[in-house]
Amino acid sequence: MSVEYERWLIPKGSTFCPSAAAIAKLVARLRKEKWIADPQSADFAALDFGGDGKSAIAAKTGGYAVKTVGDKHGKTFAEKLAASLAPIPVTLDADWLEAPEREELRLVWPMKPRGAVSLEYPMSRRPDGDVAWSLEVHRAPDYVYPIAETIDALDTECACGEDLAFEWDDAMIPAFGAATGIYTECEECSRTFDPSKRTATIANPFDRSEREIAGGAAYRFALKIDCGKCFVADPKLALAPELVALVEDEFGRAFIEIAATH
């Protein structure tokens, strides 16, 4: 079975979630500094959007948005999947991001160059031959917690004894794929949950070295790179330092990196 690789950049402390206006500003900067393609550029024309329906949607503007949907959006999986997807507006603004139905949202820019492009590669090492990756921006009102063999669970018990972890209903298609959630506030006692007060073990997917991280992999906002099958299997593989510096500069805070294979 082919292995796929993904890496998250999440705010240190887990609780940070920027405003819609701040996310729109980040996306504009990512496009300006060529981490995502401008639909009017030669780089965009050199991207391959063939394949599944998601890629066809992305071909309209460069990226697609995924929102969480349930039964009110359709009865069949195909109906719900169609309702969960939409092209990302070329000019992304706060009004579009703040729509109530987009409370849980994943923005995805798939990039598969057919030849030479001036786009920045988001990882510290580039594999030989053809490459393909997606840059994603995630936002949620509650915490998202990725599911992976190398990401241990976080203690999610409130001081009152209530477990704040949850899974999306089977009838729903969640925006974030393989993940569980953690409520930001306990319904029983109204206490606010801060993941950074707990720790979880996160392992490097290549050499299995371990780190104890405050908050584990919990986040409400994240930038994610999905390399698919195109990556260098090196324990030192990381996000491009320039990309990390951009995000940290944009929000004026430190971020940490977490990776997994599946």
pLDDT in single tens digits along all 262 residues of the chain: 479 999 999 999 999 999 999 999 999 999 999 999 999 999 999 999 977 778 889 999 999 999 999 888 887 888 998 999 999 999 999 999 999 999 999 999 999 998 889 999 999 999 998 899 999 999 999 999 999 999 999 999 999 999 999 999 888 999 998 999 999 999 999 999 999 999 999 999 999 999 999 999 999 999 999 999 999 999 999 999 999 999 999 999 999 999 999 9
Q: What is the pLDDT of residue 1?
A: 43
Q: What is the pLDDT of residue 24?
A: 97
Interstrand relation of 179-182 and 165-166 (parallel, antiparallel or unpaired): antiparallel
Burial of 127 (0-12, 13-18, 19+ CB in 10 A): middle
Q: What's 227's DSSP letter?
A: E
Three-class DSSP category at 193: coil
pTM (two decimals)? 0.95
Number of neighbours of residue 159 by Cβ within 10 angstroms:
9
Three-class DSSP category at 115: coil
What does the block give as tokens for 127? 């594999």
Q: What is the pLDDT of residue 170?
A: 86
